[in-house]
Structure 1
Amino acid sequence: MVIRVEPHRLAYMAVPKAACTSVKAALAVLDPNQPKSHADDLDEFEVHGLYPTMRFRPHRWALYEDHFRFTVVRDPLKRLLAVYTNRVETLNILSNCRNIRRGMVHLPKQPDPDYFFQNLPAYILASSDIKHHSLPTWLFTGHDFTLYDRVFRTSEMGDLAETLTDRVGAPVEIPHFNSSDRRLHLADLAPETQRALEHFLVDQYDHLSDYFDNPFDKPRMHAVA
């Protein structure tokens, strides 16, 4: 599904764990089909009910060439670490995982980060929520970023707000949703876990090489901010 606000000719492709709830909430305020006038009046379930996150389909995206087409991307490592700190640690979503609760798979519901990332493929198979938030960015944006008028990094939410403000002709604010209780850094993880993440993310860093440096290509960092 292309997320769009027709009166302002805006078209957005959302990426899970890349500020998508915040961006959707900002767009919802601009949408005349949505009655609330402040992003803070929307909760996460309302936002995603209005604008489900769907995979990229080139033929659908091509229908909006006359729109301002944009997306927001996040550093692959930070995005994956946030799957753990937000979905697993803060929201405790594995406690509601049917496959784990019913004993169909034998995985801890509250794994430590090393166990979680070393067994990430198993958690992806067990939990649709983990799978959805861990899928590669290209499934939601496509491989060709030239199809976008602008690709924003999650660190550029101020730029996005200014861009939307200019296009809409009224102030636009990007609210902050889904903050984690703590930050997890690469240096917090065991060497074996770091190697597993390096292997898991190599193709994603290749895809996003114009926007993010691959930390695994550099001398070992003490932390990823």
Structure 2
Amino acid sequence: MVIRVDPKRLAYMAVPNAACSSIKAALAAIDPTQDMSDPMAFAQKQVHSIYATQRFRRHRWDQVQDFFRFTVVRDPLKRLLGVYTNRVVGLRELHNCRKIKRGRVNLTADPDPDYFFQNLCGYIAVSSSVKHHALPTAVFTGIDLGRYSQVYRTSDISKLQDDLSEHIDSPVTIPHFNSSDAPLTLDDLAPETHRMLAARLEEEYRHLEGYFANPFITKHVSMAA
């Protein structure tokens, strides 16, 4: 679903684990159909009920051609690692998974990061939340990023805030949600996990090659040198 603020001529395609809670709160605060103008007044669950994150559909995007159309993308590796730190460790969502709780699958609700990523397909099969947050960026943005007025990286949030303020001719504040106190890096993971992640993210890095360098290719070239 396209997230639309029609009176402001804004259209946003949200990507899970790419600052979408923060951006939804900012849009809700300037949306005349909502009751609050302070983005920090919205709870995270509330903004997701106001604006659902859904897959890209071309026919819906074509309806907002005269809007300021934008999306925000995140480095694919950091985004996928965030599934573990946020959904598994922070929110402990696997403890709500019925198949794991009832012992129907040979998976733990408290995996270490290597176990989780080496068994990611299994966790995707039993957890709708893991599946939703681990889907490739293109599922939500579409393949052709040229359809957007602007594509921002998560590191460009301040630029997005300025651009939205200019577009609506009024200050826009994008709050900061979902930061991790202990983010993962490749150095925290085993070589076997590196290989699994490299294969899984190869196509996604090709899709976003104008925005992020593939760390697995960089690592390979560096080691070869």
The bucket for the TM-score relative to the shorter chain is over 0.9
2:176 pairs with 1:173 = no
Distance of 2:99 and 2:175 partners within structure 1: 34
Aligned residue number for residue 197 of structure 2: 197
Aligned residue number for residue 155 of structure 1: 155
Aligned residue number for residue 184 of structure 1: 184
Distance of 1:69 and 1:49 partners within structure 2: 21
User: Identity over the aligned pairs, expressed in percent?
Assistant: 58
* Deviation at residue 219 of structure 1 after TM alignment: 2.6
- Aligned-residue Cα RMSD (Å) equals 1.2
Amino acid at match of 1:44: Q
1:33-52 aligned within 5 A? 33-52=33-52
Structure 1, residues 154-205: CA drift from partner, whole Å, max 9, x if none?
0000000000000111111110111123111011100011111001111110
Q: TM-score, normalised by structure 2?
A: 0.96
Aligned residue number for residue 74 of structure 1: 74
Range moving further from structure 2, 45-54 or 175-184: 175-184
Structure 1, residues 107-129: CA drift from partner, whole Å, max 9, x if none?
01010000000110110001000
Q: Answer yes or no: is the 8 Å Cα contact 1:215–1:221 preserved in 2.
A: no
Does the residue aligned with 2:219 lie in a helix, a strand or coil? coil
Judged with a 3 Å threshold, the aligned counterparts in structure 2 of structure 1 residues 221 and 37 are, in CA distance, closer, same or farther, namely: farther
Aligned residue number for residue 125 of structure 1: 125
Aligned residue number for residue 56 of structure 1: 56
Aligned residue number for residue 106 of structure 2: 106
Structure 1, residues 79-122: CA drift from partner, whole Å, max 9, x if none?
00110001101111000011211222120101000000011011
Q: TM-score, normalised by structure 1?
A: 0.96
Does the residue aligned with 2:152 lie in a helix, a strand or coil? strand
Paired positions, count:
222
2:17 pairs with 1:17 = yes
In the alignment, structure 1 segments of 5+ residues that lack a partner are none
Distance of 1:221 and 1:159 partners within structure 2: 32
Distance of 2:106 and 2:93 partners within structure 1: 16
Range moving further from structure 2, 146-155 or 102-111: 102-111
Distance of 2:99 and 2:33 partners within structure 1: 38
Q: Answer yes or no: is the 8 Å Cα contact 1:90–1:181 preserved in 2.
A: no
Distance of 1:114 and 1:130 partners within structure 2: 15
Structure 1, residues 58-91: CA drift from partner, whole Å, max 9, x if none?
0110000010000000000000011000110111
